[in-house]
Structure 1
Amino acid sequence: MLSENYCNLLNNSLFILVFISTALYWFRLSFKSITIFNTIGKITSRFATLSIFLFLLIRWIDYGYFPLSNLYESLLFLSFILLFLYQFLESKAQSPIFGGIVLPLVLLISGFSELTLPLEMQKASALVPALQSNWLMMHVSLMMLSYAILLIGSAFSIVYLVTSIVFLYNLESVEKRYFDYQEFMRGLINFTRGMNLTREDYQTRSSIQSPSACCQIISLNNIFLEQEALAQSARTNFLSQLDKWSSRTISLGFPFLTIGIIAGAVWANEAWGSYWSWDPKETWALITWLIFAAYLHLRLIVGVTGKGPACLASLAFFVVWICYLGVNFLGQGLHSYGWFAYN
């Protein structure tokens, strides 16, 4: 089938484009003065977004339903949302950190969907009766949208924690360097004051002990402290920005998760006669909701910021993946069709 050949071409190009974009963004973060990396990375990532869009569109036209019926299609849809969101956020914040965080996620997702899933699971098939509903697009798309937004917000919290540890180590190094610097300056002054000089060295000693020399030592000390203060201020501002991005992104994704779970409950009642069955997927969706609700409670109601909420959001990052992928390894429950329970 001609459309299948186009789909395969688009999917293969997706992995290559995302790989190139990820490498370029990381080069950009490593070599800040070379902006061409960022420009090329943006271009390749937009081609990657276009390739996923065309892939999903072709499948939608060929099979007559929105391509969210199995794990393979949902992974590609999640990749599409992640790419779109990172490009939107980057255009607002004008920072390459978004691409450096989100693109590796997309690379892992596309690699898993293309290289790990069996070929039979990558093929579209007729919808099972439970999926032949208008709720398919609303419920699954809302859940995928919420997962994408929450994953980005949680990833910011992970970067926040890692960066905090690195900065703390650097701060200890700065304190040690400053202590060594002071010791060196004290030793230099004591040496110049106490050494035995000859008549020929008297002029040198006088210049060292002169008020101008002492002023130079003090000035160097002040410069050292000012530079370290500026570096510390930049680190603090960067951590504050990461914390703010994480909080705002999670605050945006949580309502979509809530609406998606409610839509799923209504659809479950229509399809199976029960709003809630404590299916493994439903249970982990509730756990995910509770963790993010606790995070927002800490941030918005209690007013806690920093490492505490960041640890909770970092935990939620892995819980989202358990809810989305991990549960499907069990091959049990009402949500097992079209996933790892494939026969």
Structure 2
Amino acid sequence: MTAVTVTETVPQRGKTEDASALYESPSAHIIEETEYVRKIRTTLEKIRNQIFRDEVRHSSTNDKLDAKRCGNFQNGSDSAMDSSCGSLDLLMERIKGKDLQLLEMNKENEVLKIKLEASREAGAAALRNVAQRLLENYQTQSEEVRKKHEDSRNSLQVDKLEKEQKLKQHVENLDQMAEKLEEKHNQITELENLIQRMEKEKRTLLEKKLSLENKLLHLKSSATNAKSKSFFFPLISSCQDLQKEISLLQEQISHLQFVIHSQHQNLRSVIQEIEALKNNLKEQDKRIEDLQEKVNILEAQAFSCSPRLAVFPQRPAAHRKLSKASWFTRLTIPSTLTFLLLSSNRRKKSS
């Protein structure tokens, strides 16, 4: 009877492989389990075929020997029959043992299949867990970034509103100063007209005084040359009346000169106020330009922070106020008024 020899080697799954498997990915583990099961099945199939061929060959050889012995030795001994029966029993025992081994291997294969399915399910669950963690991390980071951008946008909007409120207040102040400057300009015009009228009246009074003085000189000359008293006394009376009238004119001229001087002082104070207002207007213009630039910068930052942020419109009214104020800052004193001021200063120095 021939012995069964199996040369197929099954890879051992030792401690080293188990230790390294802890560091492998789920997909590599699944591939390894599948390859192991495939090799086990192939090995079992080869063993089964080898056992079947050996048993068939051994049975055929024994049958031929038994037939030959029966033909040659019809009166064979009982010991030979007992030996054949013993060999057959031994062969059956070996077949039963191989069947039991095959059954155990099939059970092991079923266990390995269950483990393989469990490994696949564990790998899929691990992938799902990783994907879920990645999604949660992405959602958390996205929410943090969105909240940060929202806070930044709100802060920019608050700062922008404050700057716009300041800009509006400066524009209102600028409008008020422009109105005051316009009032001062009208006041200067009125003072200029008043001074011109008073100067004209003064010249009229001076001409009248000069005429009366000439007349008085003529009457005095006539009184000196008068030979009779009937002509002398009326001339003296006329001279006295003329002197009174001249004195009254002189008082009017002096009072008018005092009023003109006071109006010149008022005019100078108004001019100084206008200059102060012009300087203040320039400062307000500068502040408004700076605030407008800051508002534009804040609008650009808010728009870049969130594309959905509504861009606030520009304020063209502020530019209109600026143009009005710029017109007043270019206001000049009339040349006639300058001439009157210089004339007043000359008279003051001469007196």
Shorter-chain TM-score bucket reads 0.3 to 0.5
State TM-score, norm by structure 1.
0.34
Task: Identify the structure with the greater helix proportion.
Answer: 2
State TM-score, norm by structure 2.
0.34
Of the two structures, which has the highest relative contact order with CA contacts closer than 8 Å and spacing of 6 or more?
Answer: 2
Which of the pair has more CA radius of gyration?
2
